[in-house]
Amino acid sequence: MNEAGTAPALPEDILIVDDISPNLKLLRDILKEAGYRVRSADNGELALRSIQARAPVLILLDVRMPGMNGLEVCNHLQADPATREIPVIFISALNSPEDKTHGFAAGGVDYISKPFDKSEVLARVHIHIMLRQTQLMQKQQAEHLREEIRQRLQAEAALQVAHDELESRVTARTRELKETNIALQASEQRYTDLYNNSPDMYASVEAATANILQCNQTLADKLDITKAEIIDRPIFDIYHPDCMPAAQSAFHSFVETGEVHGAELQLKCKDGSKLEVELNVSAVHDQAGKVLYSRSCWIDISKRKQAEQELTQYRHHLEELVAERTAALENAKEAAEAANHAKTLFLANMSHELRTPLNAILGFSQLLQADKTLSDKARSNLEIINRSGNHLLVLINDVLDMSKIEAGQVMVDKENIELGGLIRDLSDMMKVRAKAKGLQLLLAQDVGFPCYVQADESKLRQIFINLLGNAIKFTRQGVIHFRLACHSMAQNGHVEIQCEVQDSGIGIAAEHLDRIFLPFEQLPLDPALDTGQKGTGLGLALTKQYIEMMGGQITLESQPGKGSCFRFQLPLAKGKASTLATHVEPEPGRVVSLTPGQGEYRILIAEDHPDSALLLQQRLEGVGFSTKIAVNGREAVDLFRDWQPHFIWMDMRMPLLDGYAATARIRKLPGGDSVKIAALTASTFKQQEAEIFAAGCDEVLHKPYLEREIFTLMQRQLDLHYQSIAVPDETSKVVFSDLNVESLSHLPKSICNDLHEAVLDLDDEHIIQLVAQIRQLEPATADAVQTLSDGYRYEELLMLCEHSLKERK
């Protein structure tokens, strides 16, 4: 939004996707009032179809919706190059950090919390372009970092090549010198020939006087003087003054030992310049073994010295570059680790801040439902609040699970489960879905299939749901076979369960089989076989990952037009019915009071959040407990010392002194070793549970919690008995529309076609105009269309229009 508070000029419109009608209307009114053109959809499938028909400039997307949720819609958009760049702002009733992380991982660019703040909505819509620019900058920085890594590798390779080349040249030159010395010793003739014709410089030096007796022409040529200027002159006259001490040392070594090898010296040229040489000397002895004179050879190593100097400079330069790149990479690594740590802290803090108020929302709405004076409308509104709250709780938990997967913290939690019951529940649930599409789901289970195993129930359940759900989704007609078998594994006494899910659906082409288990993979479908069903591309990837984490493997056979068959095997340890976890449950119905005769129970509530403390106090005092509230850890310790409660509800995050420290202090006080302490926490990470028990708590209750969970936990710890009343089971009322294909067939084809296009485009203004036209022809049909439109039931309306147009062809 600009400084005047109006919407910027946009070439296209904004799409709002939310299954809650009031939310759609509220957002549409806010944006239209600001000058935006708005479309709206009440479910993800319809939104995708509208986006494919005409792409919006921005999408406001509800996270949790029936059918395809917001994250799945966003994943689909990210997988399609045509829609990948459309900014998506997620909308939800709670600004959960896990919720945000989940949304950002799916491709969202921002997050707006419910209830909506008008200024926030307008501001976030305006700045999404700035967020996109920031994303591009980050991509450029990542590319720059990769380029630096590439340059570093090239520099290291070049340094190694230079080092190898130098060693090769040194080795080659050393070999040449040895060959030369051998040749000199082999025969006098060869020595004379080499002496006269060698490109190297040779001379004979008398040991007694250090005078040059003879030299070859090469030495004279190199020094740019005549041989006459060399012969009968002291050997030290041809050396440069800078190397005189080394030259004298070499001569003395020759006199004493009769040889010199590899002495690097400098000869003096006529113009005073230096000639870099390597000196090798052998002696000629008399019959008594006395050294008479030398055979001295100077090898011009100027080029080698120059090459060594250049290589040394280049090596130093490369080392500096490598050091700089290494420091830069180290800084980048530290920055990334700091960012990950900050993200973890943010998720933990926001999890507490979201789940704590959600606890109050769900708790007080449940308390209000017990009020018999409520009107039907108020009770219906409370049911909506409860459903929405529970929906958000599931969403928060899903975000936490996704964050664990991203952080590589997913672990296989083996526990004793009733596999037979799990299969029955899943089969019953999936049969309902299959029947709704006119399909059959047939379960074939071996007689020896185990009833109890040790496995990760949540992951096993997700594997079955993903495979059966895909089979139902991509099958138009026919039968889906769900086959289960097992056999014993003699080596360890385990059993291997074998599962097969076979459908008669659209199938997968052979060239795409290797890609089907890749994350976010969307395979192209033959238009003749395309069901119109699109997924996130993540389900099968997670299924394969879970199966492999549990020690199994999955395979696939498929033919286009005939169907697919997924098979997997899992090795599982046998379980026992006697080891299944059992829980103490309170009497059926709502707890209203303690059973008379149990005495007074003092309950201390240590909770810094006023709403959560009040909720828990009202629930406990409502059934007959005596309570006191401490707003921080220090106050909790003082109240325990003075009041000696029987039970403590301890919030683990409080000011001044947190629940961990407060619990540890209470355990050290008189009576602290016997009091029952239950931790209240908004965290769902298992490592934190270990810290809670280590601090001295007896049990853990996660926010938001249900009323029955409170009383069940206290019953388990204090051996309590309650009086309860039955709670009536109320069913929801559903409003149906009288619209059908036959009623639409009475309308002109042009109006039906226009209605189809308006619904596909989510153009509610055009729909209103068409309803007015229909009312002049068919008033009852107009009312039915209006009912579906007002309820944002666009998918039903779109399906009826398509069937009507199809029958007219």
For 278-300, write each residue's pLDDT tens digit.
Answer: 999 998 888 888 888 888 999 99
**In contact, 216 and 198? CB cutoff 8 Å:** yes
Structure tokens at 281: 């000397």
- In the predicted model, is pLDDT for residue 10 greater than 50? no
**In contact, 499 and 523? CB cutoff 8 Å:** no
Phi, psi of 452 (to 5 degrees): -130, 130
**pLDDT tens per residue, range 505-561:** 888 888 888 888 776 566 655 443 444 444 445 678 778 888 888 889 999 998 888
- Tell me what the mean pLDDT of segment 658-686 comes to: 89
Structure tokens at 129: 């372009």
Residue position matching structure tokens 């929801």: 732
Give pLDDT, residue 730: 40
Q: Give the span between the Cα atoms of 332 and 337, in whole angstroms.
A: 9
| DSSP conformational letter for 509 | -
- In the predicted model, is pLDDT for residue 236 greater than 60? yes
* Segment among 301-305, 661-665, 803-807 with least mean pLDDT: 803-807
Q: Which string of DSSP letters, residue by residue, matches 268-330? A: EPTTS-EEEEEEEEEEEE-TT--EEEEEEEEEE-HHHHHHHHHHHHHHHHHHHHHHHHHHHHH
- In the predicted model, is pLDDT for residue 115 greater than 60? yes
Give pLDDT, residue 712: 92
In the chain, DSSP finds a helix count (H) and a strand count (E) of: 23, 24
**H/E stretch holding 586:** none
Give pLDDT, residue 5: 43
Give pLDDT, residue 791: 61
**In contact, 591 and 567? CB cutoff 8 Å:** no
**In contact, 517 and 596? CB cutoff 8 Å:** no
**In contact, 779 and 8? CB cutoff 8 Å:** no
- Tell me what the mean pLDDT of segment 582-590 comes to: 54
Q: Is the peptide bond before 22 cis (omega within 30 degrees of 0)?
A: no
Cβ neighbours of 103 (radius 10 Å): 26
Pairing between β-strand 602-606 and β-strand 647-651 as defined by DSSP bridges: parallel
Share of the chain above pLDDT 70, in %: 79
Phi, psi of 113 (to 5 degrees): -90, 150
- In the predicted model, is pLDDT for residue 172 greater than 70? yes
Structure tokens at 248: 């004298």
Which amino acid is present at 88? V
Crossing angle of the two packed helices 44-53 and 794-808, in degrees rounded to 10: 60
Predicted confidence band at 807 (pLDDT cuts at 50, 70, 90)? confident
Give pLDDT, residue 611: 85
- In the predicted model, is pLDDT for residue 632 greater than 80? yes
Give pLDDT, residue 693: 92
Give pLDDT, residue 478: 86
**In contact, 469 and 539? CB cutoff 8 Å:** yes
**In contact, 94 and 396? CB cutoff 8 Å:** yes
Which of 35-44, 444-453, 595-604: highest mean pLDDT? 595-604
- Tell me what the mean pLDDT of segment 764-786 comes to: 86
Give pLDDT, residue 362: 66
* Segment among 1-15, 31-45, 588-602, 757-771 with least mean pLDDT: 1-15
Q: Give the span between the Cα atoms of 530 and 774, in whole angstroms.
A: 34
Q: Give the span between the Cα atoms of 615 and 634, in whole angstroms.
A: 22
Give pLDDT, residue 364: 66
Q: What is the pTM of this model?
A: 0.41
Give pLDDT, residue 490: 57
**In contact, 759 and 798? CB cutoff 8 Å:** yes
- Tell me what the mean pLDDT of segment 689-716 comes to: 89
Residue position matching structure tokens 């500096």: 320
Share of the chain above pLDDT 90, in %: 20
**H/E stretch holding 378:** helix 376-406
Give pLDDT, residue 4: 39
Predicted confidence band at 734 (pLDDT cuts at 50, 70, 90)? very low
Q: Give the span between the Cα atoms of 462 and 455, in whole angstroms.
A: 13
* Segment among 514-523, 668-677, 695-704 with least mean pLDDT: 514-523
State the maximum Cα–Cα separation within the chain, in Å, rounded to a whole number. 139
- Looking at every residue in the chain, the average pLDDT score rounds to 81
Give pLDDT, residue 3: 42
675 vs 162, 560, 695, CA distance in Å? 75, 66, 14
Give pLDDT, residue 186: 66
- Tell me what the mean pLDDT of segment 217-240 comes to: 90
* 792: Cβ contacts below 8 Å, ≥ 6 apart: 19, 21, 24, 40, 41, 42
Q: Give the span between the Cα atoms of 140 and 81, in whole angstroms.
A: 20
- In the predicted model, is pLDDT for residue 269 greater than 90? yes
Q: Give the span between the Cα atoms of 205 and 224, in whole angstroms.
A: 20
Residue position matching structure tokens 């009032």: 33
Long-range CB pairs of 750-754 (<8 Å, 24+ gap) are 751/777, 752/801, 752/804, 752/805, 752/808, 753/805
Predicted confidence band at 377 (pLDDT cuts at 50, 70, 90)? low
Q: For 743-767, give one letter per residue: b (16+ CB within 10 A) or e.
A: bbeebeeeebebbbebbbbbbbeeb
- Tell me what the mean pLDDT of segment 729-756 comes to: 68
Residue position matching structure tokens 């049909």: 781
* Segment among 91-95, 606-610, 627-631 with least mean pLDDT: 91-95
- In the predicted model, is pLDDT for residue 731 greater than 70? no
Predicted confidence band at 57 (pLDDT cuts at 50, 70, 90)? confident
* 533: Cβ contacts below 8 Å, ≥ 6 apart: 473, 474
Helix, strand, coil share (%) of the chain residues, nearest 5: 50, 20, 30
* 436: Cβ contacts below 8 Å, ≥ 6 apart: none
Q: Is the peptide bond before 115 cis (omega within 30 degrees of 0)?
A: yes
Predicted confidence band at 716 (pLDDT cuts at 50, 70, 90)? very high
- In the predicted model, is pLDDT for residue 7 greater than 60? no
Answer with the residue of higher pLDDT: 441 or 352: 441
Q: Give the span between the Cα atoms of 253 and 261, in whole angstroms.
A: 10
Q: Give the span between the Cα atoms of 165 and 151, in whole angstroms.
A: 21
- Of 578, 574, 579, nearest in space to 449 by CA: 574
Three-state secondary structure of 693-730? HHHCCCEEEECCCCHHHHHHHHHHHHCCCEEEECCCCC
**In contact, 281 and 296? CB cutoff 8 Å:** yes
CA of residue 71 relative to chain centroid, distance: 14
Which amino acid is present at 242? D
- Of 413, 389, 409, nearest in space to 347 by CA: 409
Which amino acid is present at 777? L
- Tell me what the mean pLDDT of segment 27-54 comes to: 88
Give pLDDT, residue 620: 92
Would residue 644 be called left, alpha or beta, if left means φ above 0 and alpha means ψ between -120 and 50 degrees?
A: left
Predicted confidence band at 27 (pLDDT cuts at 50, 70, 90)? confident
Answer with the residue of higher pLDDT: 333 or 410: 333
Q: Which string of DSSP letters, residue by residue, matches 175-203? A: HHHHHHHHHHHH-HHHHHHHHHH-SSEEE
Q: Give the span between the Cα atoms of 695 and 665, in whole angstroms.
A: 9
Q: Which string of DSSP letters, residue by residue, matches 62-83? A: ES--SSS-HHHHHHHHHHSTTT
Cβ neighbours of 706 (radius 10 Å): 13
Predicted confidence band at 581 (pLDDT cuts at 50, 70, 90)? very low
**In contact, 112 and 121? CB cutoff 8 Å:** yes
Predicted confidence band at 1 (pLDDT cuts at 50, 70, 90)? very low
**H/E stretch holding 357:** helix 302-369
